[in-house]
């Protein structure tokens, strides 16, 4: 009887143990199913939110929320490149910079998920210690590099669980990492595309301004002075400046050349033209000081400009000239074969070279038939097919052959001589040539005192 009771009791205990184990297995299966459902929900929520944001910060925030909801990770640190190396920030505030900067170059070529528990694996080699140091700095259990085509956008360090990851959690983390890297790459590409589109709009606007300010070839009469201009541009845009205006019987001419090419030079030329229009009536030395203040920028890569300003006073029979690193203008008079050419030796520093600069003014007497010739450096730098520059000597020879011409005819003669010299060779620099001659006060097209006449523009 005792034996039978013992057998019955043993069987009962065994069956109870089996039942308890079965219930535990069912509970674990239910918990695993629930956790799997939660992780799946976290994954889909991450994908949905990320695809709606299209910004790197929003993608990282969504990734942090998915790690917290799906794996219970409370430590999320984003490591990202900055101007002074890689920087770190928590989703809720700043963090100390990463201790090892060389590890990020390794991530570019090894973009797989790094689990701290697997760092003893031989595949990490000499990177094991730097990776351990990086993970320890931020209390991370895993490092998720966000890379695409060997471009590393960032690394997410996550941890704070307090227990190891099981197989399902590791699979979830790997899948989340793949989705996160792809979405982060898309966000970066979207941002770059938006920036390019914005730059295209800005370049288009700058080109429109540039076209509106191009110097115009032609002749005009300002007070008692006839002014002729010849301009030839380049595909790189306009960086030469020409302004002409009359004030109280005196006519001021400005010829300038921004050092450099492209949209930036064109916009700086527009600034210079605006300063010229705003400084009507100023003496030429003061005008260059105003331009210098507008163009100067501190720093190693300072914008610079060569500029020549001249004021013709027909009543006084004189011309006042100030220069900022520009070629010397000249006064031409007489007949062909008996030509007199006088260079006006005005000197001064380039505009924008220093914050405060002075520009000495040179005054020359005007004879009755004197023509003032001003030009930007591109004229004498124009090259022939054999790469020889046009030069000042050839320019002076051409002036001697056409000294008695009107300003318009003189400009046309010089332009034709330049064309024969370059023989179709494309110039790298713009060509700007201005000729002015005082022919007595009055005449058609005289501007009212104090008001700018229609002038050729940049």
CATH architecture for the domain at 213-438: 4-Layer Sandwich (3.60)
Which residue ranges does the chain devote to CATH 3.30.450.40?
Answer: 37-192
- Percent of the chain at pLDDT > 90 equals 22
- Check if the beta carbon of residue 139 is closer than 8 Å to that of residue 159: yes
pLDDT of 385-444, one tens digit each? 888 899 989 988 888 887 667 899 899 989 999 989 888 777 778 889 999 999 754 333
Per-residue model confidence (pLDDT) at position 234: 74
223: left (phi over 0), alpha (psi -120 to 50) or beta: left
Q: Find the mean pLDDT for residues 16-37.
A: 56
Structure tokens at 61: 């925030």
Which residue ranges does the chain devote to CATH 3.60.40.10?
Answer: 213-438
Q: Which residues contact 329 (CB under 8 A, 6 or more apart)?
A: 308, 310, 321, 343, 344, 346, 372, 373, 374, 375
Structure tokens at 408: 């318009």
d(CA 297, CA 267): 14
d(CA 228, CA 189): 51
pLDDT level of residue 167 (50, 70, 90 thresholds): confident
pLDDT of 101-148, one tens digit each? 888 989 988 889 999 989 988 888 889 999 999 999 998 999 999 887
In this structure, which CATH number among 3.90.79.10, 3.20.20.10, 3.30.420.80, 3.30.450.40 belongs to the domain 37-192? 3.30.450.40
Q: What value does the mean pLDDT of the chain take?
A: 80
Per-residue model confidence (pLDDT) at position 142: 92
Per-residue model confidence (pLDDT) at position 453: 37
Q: Which residues contact 103 (CB under 8 A, 6 or more apart)?
A: 127, 130, 131, 134
pLDDT at residue 48 above 60?
yes
Q: Which of 181-185, 208-212, 216-220, 443-447 has the highest mean pLDDT?
A: 216-220
Find the largest Cα–Cα distance for the chain. 151
pLDDT of 271-291, one tens digit each? 888 788 778 888 999 999 999
Judged by average pLDDT, the poorest of 22-36, 73-87, 299-313 is 22-36
As to burial, measured by CB atoms within 10 angstroms (0-12 exposed, 13-18 middle, 19+ buried), residue 311 is buried
pLDDT level of residue 329 (50, 70, 90 thresholds): very high
CB-based burial, 122-131: b 16+ in 10 Å, e otherwise: eebeebeebb
Question: Where are the extended beta strands (E) located within 366-430?
Answer: 371-375
Per-residue model confidence (pLDDT) at position 5: 59
Q: Which residues contact 307 (CB under 8 A, 6 or more apart)?
A: 241, 254, 255, 256, 257, 272, 288, 291, 323, 324, 325, 326, 351
């Amino acid at each position: 009887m005792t034996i039978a009771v013992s057998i019955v009791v043993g069987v009962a205990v065994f069956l109870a143990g089996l039942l308890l184990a079965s219930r535990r297995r069912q509970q674990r299966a239910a918990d695993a199913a629930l956790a799997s459902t939660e992780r799946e929900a976290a994954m889909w929520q991450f994908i949905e939110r990320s695809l709606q944001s299209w910004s790197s910060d929003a993608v990282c925030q969504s990734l942090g929320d998915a790690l917290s909801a799906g794996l219970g990770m409370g430590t999320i640190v984003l490591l990202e490149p900055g101007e002074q190396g890689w920087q770190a920030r928590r989703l809720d505030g700043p963090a100390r910079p990463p201790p090892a900067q060389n590890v990020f170059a390794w991530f570019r070529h090894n973009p797989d998920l790094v689990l701290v528990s697997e760092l003893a694996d031989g595949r990490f080699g000499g990177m094991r210690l730097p990776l351990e140091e990086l993970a320890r700095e931020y209390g991370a259990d895993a490092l998720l590099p966000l890379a695409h085509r060997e471009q590393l956008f960032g690394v997410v360090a996550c941890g704070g669980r307090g227990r190891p990851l099981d197989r399902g959690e590791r699979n979830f983390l790997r899948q989340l990492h793949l989705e996160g890297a792809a979405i982060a790459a898309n966000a970066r590409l979207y941002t770059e595309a938006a920036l390019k589109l914005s730059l295209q709009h800005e370049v288009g606007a700058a080109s429109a301004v540039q076209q509106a300010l191009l110097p115009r070839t032609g002749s005009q009469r300002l007070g008692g002075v006839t002014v002729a201009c010849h301009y030839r541009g380049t595909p790189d845009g306009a960086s030469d400046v020409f302004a002409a205006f009359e004030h109280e019987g005196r006519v001021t001419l400005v010829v300038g050349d921004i050092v450099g090419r492209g949209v930036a030079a064109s916009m700086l030329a527009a600034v210079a033209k605006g300063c010229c229009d705003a400084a009507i009536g100023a003496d030429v030395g003061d005008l260059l000081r105003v331009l210098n203040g507008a163009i100067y920028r501190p720093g190693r890569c300072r914008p610079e400009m060569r500029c020549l300003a001249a004021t013709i006073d027909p009543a006084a029979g004189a011309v006042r000239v100030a220069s900022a690193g520009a070629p010397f203008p000249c006064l031409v008079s007489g007949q062909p074969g008996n030509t007199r050419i006088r260079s006006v030796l005005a000197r001064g520093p380039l505009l924008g070279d220093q914050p405060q600069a002075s520009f000495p003014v040179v005054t020359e007497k005007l004879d009755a038939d004197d023509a003032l010739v001003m030009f930007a450096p591109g004229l004498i730098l124009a090259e022939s097919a054999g790469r020889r520059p046009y030069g000042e000597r050839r320019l002076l020879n051409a002036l001697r052959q056409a000294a008695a011409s009107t300003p318009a005819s003189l400009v046309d003669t010089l332009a034709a001589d330049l064309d024969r010299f370059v023989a179709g060779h494309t110039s790298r620099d713009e060509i700007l040539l201005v000729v002015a001659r005082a022919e007595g006060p009055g005449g058609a097209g005289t501007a009212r005192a104090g008001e700018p006449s229609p002038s050729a523009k940049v």
